[in-house]
Amino acid sequence: MATLVPPRQRHTHFRQLGRTIGVPVPVPGVAMSEGKPPLLRLLCLHGYRQNQRSFHERTGALRKALRGRAELVSVNAPHRVRAPAEHGNRGGRSPGLGLLFCVPAGGAAEPRAWWFSRPEEETFEALEEAARCQGLEQALETVARACAELGPFDGLLGFSQGAALAAIVCALQQRGDARFPFRFAVLIAGFKSRAAPHGRYFREPIAAPSLHVLGESDRVIPAALSRELAAHFREPAVLSHPGGHFVPAAASQRAAYLEFLARF
């Protein structure tokens, strides 16, 4: 990977590693009407302890910034995250599969997870090198079902644990998994899953075009972990910002998103 400009020199930095970007790539069968690029559809995968509704709200600024260029469609992760008081009560557990594609009419929905690094406790720690984990297959099936029932989608947009899942989906697509038809991925505050069973997804470089967005002040997913994930992609684009663990959408970052999306 090329050396990134240090944050003290530039607060926001966007670089295509390995090649110049910014030139729209014509897509067979997609017409450009009146010179306007086609509206892209992105399937959005929220972070741990978030849900479809909360992530929709947290990406409001990004949706506004990309209005007319990209549509963001969020779905729920399949696993319910139990409240701390419930961890000793197995009877309170619910898979919540009926919540996958519905936005609650009011109130906050329960927190969700894509998988657990501690199966016994049904919790997740991004930095934990877990010997085993639980729930990934259900997470992949959720993404596949969304692609089939809500698609087609041009790309994936994942945040935190959702970005880690999106990277695995990219690896599976590269291996010929037809469940995941998309052309690119935007990975925000992403990281390489440290669960031992997931190591097989990163044995070879991932070819999917990718934009990796990282916060230099992120204390939940340190920027170094997002750069580590980017290194597993063949020609990643990297957007760094001075903030923490959130989806950035300021003017300079909007320009970087649009520059990346202009390729599709």
Closest Cα partner for 199 from 136, 122, 145, 155? 136
Q: Residue 160 catalytic?
A: yes
**Residue given tokens 């639980």 in the structure block:** 134
- CB environment 152-188: b (16+ within 10 A), e (fewer): ebbbbbbbbbbbbbbbbbbbbbbeeeeebebbbbbbb
- The yes-or-no answer on residue 117 being catalytic is no
**54, 56, 87, 245: the active-site residue:** 245
Which of 218, 226, 232, 241 is catalytic? The answer is 218
CA distances from 88 to 81, 82, 92, 109, 114 (A): 13, 10, 9, 22, 21
Q: Which of 117, 160, 226, 240 is catalytic?
A: 160
Query: Minimal CA–CA distance to 153: which of 73, 52, 56, 59?
Result: 73
Residues 234 and 207: beta-carbon distance below 8 Å: yes
Please state, in angstroms and rounded to a whole number, the distance separating the CA atoms of residues 162 and 130: 18
Active site residues: 160, 218, 245
